Amino acid sequence: MSDIIVFLLILGFFGLLIIGTKETLKEQKEVSILVQTGHTIVEYLGGSPYLNVASKGNLKPNENVLTFAYGNGNKPINTKWSDIKSVEVKTYEQITSDITAGRMLLLGVFALAAKKQTVHRSEYLVVHCNEEGVDYDMVFSGTGMGALASRINAALINYRKKI
């Protein structure tokens, strides 16, 4: 009797393993298709007035808008090229140095004694926008942020040339 239970447990384990592998292969295929069609997988960290939670999704420069599609069934966020002021890639060190400059103003000479952060190699895409007179910065992280910034800037330049 216990041999049958052990056999069923082993069979169930391998069944779950095969199902998990199929899901992973399906996800890899979906990501591959997105990359081939010009999408870049990113993690949205914040800044947009239209999305208030961090989310994984894909970012794609289109003819008239920069599109961030996230989650299943959620309406993509489209930012018009006319609302984008600039795009830049910053490292973790650059972002924290912006904070450190503010801390220096606040703490004065004592800011130099404050403990510094450890070195990170993450890159962040910062999209500076102005919509209806309101400035905001959308921040994304992921791999290949420099290449993505180049593609977005090229699309932005093409849009501005048409106007």
| Residues in Cβ contact with 152 at an 8 Å cutoff, skipping those fewer than 6 apart | 61, 66, 87, 125, 127
Given pLDDT bands bounded at 50, 70 and 90, which one contains residue 158? Answer: very high
Tell me how far apart the alpha carbons of residues 117 and 130 are, in angstroms, rounded to a whole number. Answer: 31
Mean pLDDT across the chain, nearest whole number? 77
pLDDT at residue 44, rounded to an integer: 93
pLDDT in tens, 22-74: 556 555 555 444 445 567 899 999 999 999 899 999 999 998 999 999 987 88
Tell me how far apart the alpha carbons of residues 98 and 128 are, in angstroms, rounded to a whole number. Answer: 15
Residue 86: other Cβ atoms inside 10 A: 12
